[in-house]
Amino acid sequence: MEFPSANFQSAAELAHCHEFIEHLPAKYETLVGERGIKLSGGERQRVALARAFLRNAPIIVLDEATSSLDSESERHIQEALSTLMNGRTTLVIAHRLSTIRSMDRIIVMDKGRIIEDGSHEELLKQKGMYAHLWGLQQGGFIAGGTKEKHF
């Protein structure tokens, strides 16, 4: 696929990777190795988001878009995702619930079956598996229960 260089820079800015690209030895012409091996995990994910901006697809599938990231990289990616998802149908697969907190609809699956469905607020009120996992990921304890709760 060929894109004008101005589009590359715009996509990089939207994906919050323009700044680190400008610090690379050859900037946008730098060879980063097979599958971006010379980039950090956060940098690779931001470059992947820039590519998604370039494609401008009406439907986007994001699989663990913020997994294994430090807090600053996650913040940059969350901002980019918010822009990317605007006006598009997006399927987000995530174990890190902060990634999906603002989604219109969250479907909770266990062993291949849908067990809960709703917005973040609705799922917290249900006090089911989503609420339990949210509490664990926030470092808190579930009121009236233990971290060993089984579903």
Q: What is the pLDDT of residue 147?
A: 47
What pLDDT does residue 96 have? 81
- Token pair for residue 94? 């995530």
Report helix angle 71-85 to 5-14, nearest 10: 120
| Close Cβ partners of 83 (under 8 Å, ≥ 6 residues apart) | 14
pLDDT of residue 67: 65
pLDDT above 60 (res 150): no
**Residue whose token pair is 């091996």:** 37
For the chain, the average pLDDT equals 81
Q: Are strands 59-63 and 113-118 parallel, antiparallel or unpaired?
A: unpaired
3-state secondary structure of 70: coil
CA distance 18 to 15: 8
Per-residue pLDDT for 62 more than 80? yes
Give pLDDT tens digits for 108-127.
999 999 999 999 999 999 99
| Cα dihedral 126→88→84→139 (10° resolution) | 10
> Residue 59: beta bridge partners?
89
Average pLDDT score over residue span 55-77 = 77
Domains delineated in the chain:
5-94 (3.40.50.300), 104-151 (no CATH)
Does residue 134 contact residue 116 with C-beta atoms inside 8 Å? no
* pLDDT grade for 66, boundaries at 50, 70 and 90: low
For residues 112 and 92, what is the distance between their CA atoms, to the nearest angstrom?
16
